[in-house]
A and B are shown apart, each in its own frame.
Chain A
Amino acid sequence: MVYIQLGLAALCPAIVSAAFYWSNKRAGFSKLSGKTKQAVYGLAFGLLAILSTEFGSQVDGAVISARDAAPLCAGLVFGAPAGLLAGLIGGAWRFFAAIGGEGVYTGLGASFTTLLAGLLGAALRKWMFDNKRPYWYYGLAAGSVVEVVNMLLVFLINMEDVHTAFELVEKATLPMVILNAGAVTLAMLVVSAMAGELRKVRGKNRNQLAQTFSRWLLLCVVLAFLVSSLFVYVLQTRLSANDAEKMLSLYIEDVRADINDASDDNLLKLTRKIRDALDETGDYGEPALFSLLDANNVSEINIIDENGIIIASTTEEYVGFDMAGGEQSGEFMALLHGEKELVQRYQPISRNEGVSMKYAGAVLQSGGFVQVGYDSGRFQADIDGQVVGLTRNRHVGEDGFMLIANEELRLVSDPGGHEGMSLDVAGILLTPEEDTYDASSEKFGREWQMLSQSVFGQSCYVMYGVTEGYYIIGALPKSEVVFDRNMQLYTTVFIEIMVFAALFALIYLLVKKLVVENIQKINGSLEEITGGNLNVTVDVRSNEEFMSLSDDINSTVHTLKGYIAEAASRIDRELEFAKTIQVSTLPCVFPPYPDRTDFDIHATMDTAKEVGGDFYDFYLLDENRLAFLIADVSGKGISAAMFMMKAKTLIKSFADKESDVSRILTRANADLCENNEAEMFVTCWMGILDLKTYTVYFTNAGHNPPLVRHKDGKFEYFKTRPGFVLAGMEGVKYKSGELKLMPGDEIFLYTDGVTEATDAHNELYGEARLKAVLDRLEGASAKEICLGVKQDVDAFVGETPQFDDMTMLCLRLTPKHSITVDPREDTMRAVVSFVEETLALAEVPVKIAMKMNIAADEIYSNIQRYSGATNAQIECAVSENRLTLVFEDNGSPYNPLDKEDPDTTLSADEREIGGLGIFMVKKTMDDVSYEYSEGMNRLTLKKSWEA
C-alpha cells in the first residue's frame, strides 16, 4: 500500500509535465506570455511538492516523499523561474509543517533541500543547458544529488546524535533517491517521448561537441565515483575489521594479563610459603617435601642446587635433572645469577613436552632454589573465583563482550551469566572439526585470528587467546563493526557524489565557456563566411589558442577574398569583352543609312550585368528592301551569347539567299536545330520592308508582338498568331504575314526585357506602360523613341537591378510632304513657304532651313524661268538629322548640274551673274543629284546636319 502510494507520487511530476507539454502545443495556453507561463508552471509544481509532503509515507520509520522531484522537474523541464518558484513554495510549506510538529527531525534540512532542488533545476537549465530541456539522465543525476544533499543535511543538523541520524539516513537514502530521481527521470522521459526525441535516429542528429563531451564527462565521473566508492568500501571494510581485530586482541590481552597476574600472584605466594618453610627447616628430605606439597596443594616441589641440578624432588625421576638442559627449565637458571623469584607461564615442561605445568621458583638461603610446580587443575581451582568476575563488567566496543572458558571449553566467565555452558552451545567453535588440535603447543590453530561466528545467535567477530589453560574469547557484533564502516561509506559516498557533481558541473562549464562557446562563435562566423559574407571576421580572443585560430581563419579568408576578387574581376573582364564583342556584331552606327531619308531606323540593346542572348539586326537587301529583326535567345551567359551569334549569322546568310522572310527563318531553324545539344531556342520577329510599296513581310517565331502606329494614330500591339520558336523543333515551316504601312508609320520591336522589367515591388513594367510611353513620344525620331522608352523603364525600375537584356528596335517611315504647283504661275512664294513650314514642323535648325529656302528659291526660279514645265512637285522629307528636297517637273530635260561653275575669282566688273544660283546650291547641299525619267526632271537635294 505504501509503495503504491509512493509510486503514484513519483508518477505525478510526469503526469503534470505531460499535461503542460501538451497544453503548450494548444492555442489557449501557448498564447500566454512567457512570464505568465513560468508562474503557472511554478505554482503547479509548488503545489505538487506540497501534495508530496502531505502524502509522504513511513518506510521503516523514515518519512519518504517525492517532494524534491517537483521543483527539480519544473526547473529542468519548464524553465528556471518555474523551478525557483516551485522550490520556494515546496520548501516553505515543508518548513512550516516542521514548525507545526510534523517531521521535525528532518524539517530544516528537508525544506532547504526542496528549495535547493528548485535552485539546482533552475541553475542547471540556465547555465549548463542554455535554457534547453536536458536529457533525462541529467534529471537522474540531479535528483540523486539533491537527495544526497538532503541526507547529508540530516547528518549535519543532527550531529549530536549521529547514531539515530545515521539509522534514518541508512533507511531513507535509497528510497528517497529512487523516488525523487526516478520521478524526475520519468517526467523528462515522458516529455522527451512526447517531443519525439527518443525516436530520433542517432546518425541523423549529429551530437554537438558539448553534448558528447558532457556525456563522456558524466561517464568518467560516474566511473570515478564507482571506483572510488568501491575502494572506500573495501578499505573501510578492511579498516573496520582491523579495528575490530585490534580492539578484540587488546581486550583479550587485558583479560589475559589479569588472569596471569592472578595465577602468578597465587603461585608466588605458595612458593614463598614453601621457601620460607624450607629455609626455616633446611630439611629437603622427601617426607618434608611431600608434606609441603600437600599443605600448599601444589603438584610438584623441586630443590635445585647452586649448579642447577635437581637434588630433591617430589617427583623421584626428576632428581639429577640439569635445569640448564631444557628450554623451559633453563629459564630458572636466572635464579642462580641474582634473581630472587621467577614465575613461569603455564606451559609444556622441558622433561616432557606432553605435560603442561606452571612453575615458580625462589632462591633458598642455603644456595640454590626451590621450584614449585602447579598443574592447571590445581591453580585453576585456586583462581577460578577471581576469573569468574573478570569479564562480568567488560564491554568490547558498545555491544561486544568477553568470555572465558576453561580447558574443557566450558564458560567460566560471561557477562550474560551463562557460566558452565559449553562453548559450542554458545555458538563458538574455536576449532572447526577438520582443524586439528596442536597437542605440542596446546593451542588451537587459530589463536589470535579473527573468526566470524554466531555467538548467542548474534553474528559476531570472535577472537580468542589462551593463557594459563583458559580460553579468553572476545566477541564483537558484526553490526557494530559494519555500522562504523557504513557510516564512513555513506558519508564518503555522499561527499563524493557532491564533489563529483560539483566537479562535473565545473569542468562542464569551464569547457563550455573556454572551448565550446568559442568554437560555436568561430563556427557561427565561419557559417556566415561560407554563406558568402567574406567580410565577417572571427574574433575570439579569450585565450591564445583561439586567438591564433581566429587570426589564421581571418588571414585565410582575407587571402581567399583576394583570390575571389581577382577571379571575379577576371570573369567580369571576360564578360565585359564578351559583351563588347557581342554588341559589336550588331549594327551600332547610327544613323546607319545617312543617305536615306525615306526611313529612320534605330535600335538599342541594354545588356544586363550578364552577357545575354538578345539581338537585333537590320540590313538593306537591295535598294528598296530593308530586313529588320529582333530576337531573344533563351537563357543567359556565354552560351546564350554564342548561340545568339550563330542565330544572327545564320539568319543573315539566309536573308541574302532567300527572298521570302518565312523561308529565311525556316532554313535558319533547320540549321539551328542541328546539334542543338544545349536545348537552346530563339524567339524572333523578322520583317522585310518594301520601301516602294511600304509593305512589311514578316514572320514571328514565338516573339512578343510588336507595336505599330499608323500615321496620326496611336500605337497598337500588332498581334498575330506566332510560329514556333527557332531551334525548338526540326522541320517547322514558318508562315509570313503582310503589314501595310504608309510614310509616317512606325513599328516598334522589343524583347521581354522591356515589358518584364521589374520595380522594387516586383511589379512588371508591362505592355500597357510601354504603349503609353510610345504614345507620349509621338513625333519623335526612332532614336528618341528608343531612348524615351529606355528612360521610362529606368524611371519605373529605379534602383532595382535588372537581370534581362532590354532590346528595342524602332523603324519609322519618314512622313512625306509635297506640294504640286504650276511653274507658269506666280508660285514661288507658295513653294518657299511650303519648304519653310515643312522644315519648321520637323524642327530643322534655322540655319539649315535658311539654306534650304535659298536652294528652293534658286532651283524653283530656274524651273520657272527655263523649263517650260506646266507642272512641278516639290517633295520634302525630314528624317532625324537629314532631309531630302526633291523637285520634279515635266519640263524639257535639263540638268542644271551640267552647267559650268562660275569663276568666283573675277572682279565685280568682269563677273557674269548667271549660274550662281545652282553653284550656291551645289556648294551648300551635301548632295545634289539629277535624273530624267518618264518625262520628268527630278532634282534631289540632300542635306544633313549635326544633331
Chain B
Amino acid sequence: MNIQKTVNGTTLTVKLEGRLDTTTSPKLEEELRGSVGGMTCLVMDFEKLEYISSAGLRVLLAMQKIMNRQGEMRIKNVSETVMEVFEITGFSDILTIE
C-alpha cells in the first residue's frame, strides 16, 4: 500500500496504490489523521486502488466525518470493484464521488 500525499494550499490530495484492507487501513488512518489538520479539502485519488475492505471503509467514514466538520472530502477515479463495495454498503450515498 502506497500513500502519496500532496498539499496544495488547504487541499490535501492523497493517492492510494494497492489494497486498502485490514492490514493497511491503520497505516492510512494514521497518515490522514496527521495530515488533515487545517485542510478544507481532502481529495482521495483511487485510481490505483485495487480493492477496499470494511477496514478501509471505516477509515473513509472516519475521515468523512472529520472533513464534514472542516470542509469537504472528494473521492475520484473510483474503480468498478471499489464502486461496487461503495454501493453495497451504502457508502456511495455518503461519499462525494467524482
- A residues adjacent to B (C-beta < 8 A): 828-829, 832, 847, 850-851, 853-854, 857-858, 860-861, 902-909, 911, 913, 916-917, 919-920, 923-924
Give the contacting residue for A913; candidates B52, B57, B81; CB below 8 A: B57
Give the contacting residue for B21; candidates A851, A854, A911, A916; CB below 8 A: A854
B65 close to A (CB within 8 Å)? yes
B78 close to A (CB within 8 Å)? no
Question: Mind listing 8 A-B residue pairs with CB under 8 Å?
Answer: A850-B50, A857-B21, A858-B54, A904-B88, A905-B90, A913-B62, A917-B55, A920-B54
Q: Nearest B residue to A911 by beta-carbon distance?
A: B61
Instruction: Tell me whether B88 and A854 are in contact (CB under 8 A).
Output: no
Instruction: Tell me whether B61 and A854 are in contact (CB under 8 A).
Output: no
- B residues adjacent to A (C-beta < 8 A): 19, 21-23, 50-55, 57-58, 61-62, 64-65, 68, 81, 84-85, 88-91, 93-95
* Minimum CB–CB distance for B84 against chain A, Å: 8
Instruction: Tell me whether A850 and B61 are in contact (CB under 8 A).
Output: no
Cα–Cα distance between A853 and B65 once the two chains are bound (Å): 27
Instruction: Tell me whether B51 and A854 are in contact (CB under 8 A).
Output: yes
* Minimum CB–CB distance for B31 against chain A, Å: 19
Instruction: Tell me whether B65 and A909 are in contact (CB under 8 A).
Output: yes
Q: Tell me the dominant secondary structure on chain B's binding face.
A: helix
Known: A857-B22, A904-B89, A911-B61. A916 touches B54 (CB 8 A): yes
Known: A853-B51, A905-B93. A913 touches B58 (CB 8 A): yes
Give the contacting residue for B94; candidates A847, A853, A861, A911; CB below 8 A: A911
Instruction: Tell me whether A920 and B19 are in contact (CB under 8 A).
Output: no
Q: Nearest B residue to A826 by beta-carbon distance?
A: B23
**Inter-chain contacts of A917 with B (CB < 8 A):** 53-55
Instruction: Tell me whether A919 and B81 are in contact (CB under 8 A).
Output: no
Known: A828-B22, A854-B21, A857-B22. A916 touches B51 (CB 8 A): no
Task: Give the residue among A860, A902, A913 with the most B Cβ atoms within 10 A.
Answer: A913
**Inter-chain contacts of A828 with B (CB < 8 A):** 22-23
Cα–Cα distance between A903 and B62 once the two chains are bound (Å): 17
| Complex A-B, nearest 8 residue pairs according to Cβ-Cβ distance, in ascending order | A904-B90, A917-B54, A908-B94, A861-B22, A916-B54, A913-B58, A857-B53, A908-B64
* Minimum CB–CB distance for B97 against chain A, Å: 13
Instruction: Tell me whether B81 and A847 are in contact (CB under 8 A).
Output: yes
Task: Give the residue among A832, A908, A909 with the most B Cβ atoms within 10 A.
Answer: A908
Cα–Cα distance between A847 and B80 once the two chains are bound (Å): 9
> 7 extra interchain contacts, Cβ-Cβ under 8 A, other than A903-B90, A916-B89?
A853-B19, A857-B21, A857-B55, A909-B65, A913-B58, A920-B53, A924-B84
**Inter-chain contacts of A851 with B (CB < 8 A):** 81
Known: A853-B51, A857-B21. A919 touches B61 (CB 8 A): no
**Inter-chain contacts of B53 with A (CB < 8 A):** 854, 857-858, 861, 917, 920
Give the contacting residue for B68; candidates A854, A858, A909; CB below 8 A: A909
Cα–Cα distance between A504 and B68 once the two chains are bound (Å): 127
* Minimum CB–CB distance for B67 against chain A, Å: 9
Task: Give the residue among A851, A853, A857 with the most B Cβ atoms within 10 A.
Answer: A857
Give the contacting residue for A908; candidates B51, B61, B85; CB below 8 A: B61
**Inter-chain contacts of A847 with B (CB < 8 A):** 81
**Inter-chain contacts of B68 with A (CB < 8 A):** 908-909
Instruction: Tell me whether A854 and B85 are in contact (CB under 8 A).
Output: yes
**Inter-chain contacts of A850 with B (CB < 8 A):** 50-51, 81
Instruction: Tell me whether B55 and A861 are in contact (CB under 8 A).
Output: yes
Cα–Cα distance between A510 and B26 once the two chains are bound (Å): 115
Q: Nearest B residue to A850 by beta-carbon distance?
A: B51
Cα–Cα distance between A939 and B64 once the two chains are bound (Å): 33
Instruction: Tell me whether A913 and B61 are in contact (CB under 8 A).
Output: yes
* Minimum CB–CB distance for A657 against chain B, Å: 48
* Minimum CB–CB distance for B93 against chain A, Å: 7
Cα–Cα distance between A146 and B52 once the two chains are bound (Å): 118
**Inter-chain contacts of A909 with B (CB < 8 A):** 65, 68
Cα–Cα distance between A719 and B3 once the two chains are bound (Å): 62
* Minimum CB–CB distance for A945 against chain B, Å: 14
Instruction: Tell me whether B94 and A907 are in contact (CB under 8 A).
Output: yes
Q: Nearest B residue to A918 by beta-carbon distance?
A: B54
**Inter-chain contacts of B85 with A (CB < 8 A):** 854, 920
Cα–Cα distance between A829 and B23 once the two chains are bound (Å): 8
* Minimum CB–CB distance for B58 against chain A, Å: 4
**Inter-chain contacts of B51 with A (CB < 8 A):** 850, 853-854
* Minimum CB–CB distance for A199 against chain B, Å: 96
Instruction: Tell me whether A920 and B61 are in contact (CB under 8 A).
Output: no
Q: Nearest A residue to B67 by beta-carbon distance?
A: A908
Cα–Cα distance between A906 and B61 once the two chains are bound (Å): 12
**Inter-chain contacts of A919 with B (CB < 8 A):** 54, 88-89
**Inter-chain contacts of B22 with A (CB < 8 A):** 828, 857-858, 860-861
* Minimum CB–CB distance for A859 against chain B, Å: 10
Cα–Cα distance between A902 and B89 once the two chains are bound (Å): 8
Task: Give the residue among B19, B54, B61, B91 with the most A Cβ atoms within 10 A.
Answer: B54
Q: Nearest A residue to B95 by beta-carbon distance?
A: A908
* Minimum CB–CB distance for B83 against chain A, Å: 12
* Minimum CB–CB distance for A158 against chain B, Å: 124
Q: Nearest B residue to A923 by beta-carbon distance?
A: B88
* Minimum CB–CB distance for B22 against chain A, Å: 4
Cα–Cα distance between A904 and B85 once the two chains are bound (Å): 12
Give the contacting residue for B58; candidates A854, A905, A907, A916; CB below 8 A: A916
Known: A908-B65, A911-B61. A924 touches B88 (CB 8 A): yes
Instruction: Tell me whether A832 and B21 are in contact (CB under 8 A).
Output: yes
**Inter-chain contacts of B58 with A (CB < 8 A):** 913, 916
Task: Give the residue among B52, B53, B61 with the most A Cβ atoms within 10 A.
Answer: B53
Q: Nearest A residue to B53 by beta-carbon distance?
A: A857
Q: Nearest B residue to A855 by beta-carbon distance?
A: B53
Cα–Cα distance between A385 and B81 once the two chains are bound (Å): 169
Instruction: Tell me whether B94 and A920 are in contact (CB under 8 A).
Output: no
Cα–Cα distance between A60 and B62 once the two chains are bound (Å): 152
* Minimum CB–CB distance for B51 against chain A, Å: 5
* Minimum CB–CB distance for A899 against chain B, Å: 13
**Inter-chain contacts of A858 with B (CB < 8 A):** 22, 53-54
Cα–Cα distance between A718 and B58 once the two chains are bound (Å): 57
Q: Nearest A residue to B80 by beta-carbon distance?
A: A847
Cα–Cα distance between A906 and B64 once the two chains are bound (Å): 13
Cα–Cα distance between A857 and B85 once the two chains are bound (Å): 14
* Minimum CB–CB distance for A782 against chain B, Å: 30
Q: Nearest A residue to B85 by beta-carbon distance?
A: A920
* Minimum CB–CB distance for A913 against chain B, Å: 4
Cα–Cα distance between A913 and B58 once the two chains are bound (Å): 6
Cα–Cα distance between A586 and B19 once the two chains are bound (Å): 47
Instruction: Tell me whether A920 and B55 are in contact (CB under 8 A).
Output: no
Cα–Cα distance between A916 and B54 once the two chains are bound (Å): 6
Cα–Cα distance between A924 and B89 once the two chains are bound (Å): 11
Instruction: Tell me whether B81 and A920 are in contact (CB under 8 A).
Output: no
Cα–Cα distance between A906 and B91 once the two chains are bound (Å): 9
Cα–Cα distance between A907 and B93 once the two chains are bound (Å): 8
Cα–Cα distance between A907 and B61 once the two chains are bound (Å): 10
Cα–Cα distance between A147 and B64 once the two chains are bound (Å): 135
Cα–Cα distance between A112 and B94 once the two chains are bound (Å): 128
Task: Give the residue among A909, A913, A916, A920 with the most B Cβ atoms within 10 A.
Answer: A916
* Minimum CB–CB distance for B69 against chain A, Å: 9
Q: Nearest A residue to B82 by beta-carbon distance?
A: A850
Cα–Cα distance between A924 and B86 once the two chains are bound (Å): 12
Cα–Cα distance between A104 and B94 once the two chains are bound (Å): 141
Cα–Cα distance between A913 and B60 once the two chains are bound (Å): 10
Cα–Cα distance between A828 and B53 once the two chains are bound (Å): 13
Cα–Cα distance between A908 and B95 once the two chains are bound (Å): 8
**Inter-chain contacts of B23 with A (CB < 8 A):** 828-829, 832, 857
* Minimum CB–CB distance for A560 against chain B, Å: 66
Cα–Cα distance between A847 and B61 once the two chains are bound (Å): 24
**Inter-chain contacts of A861 with B (CB < 8 A):** 22, 53, 55
* Minimum CB–CB distance for A572 against chain B, Å: 50
**Inter-chain contacts of B55 with A (CB < 8 A):** 857, 861, 917
* Minimum CB–CB distance for B26 against chain A, Å: 12
* Minimum CB–CB distance for B87 against chain A, Å: 9
**Inter-chain contacts of B94 with A (CB < 8 A):** 907-908, 911
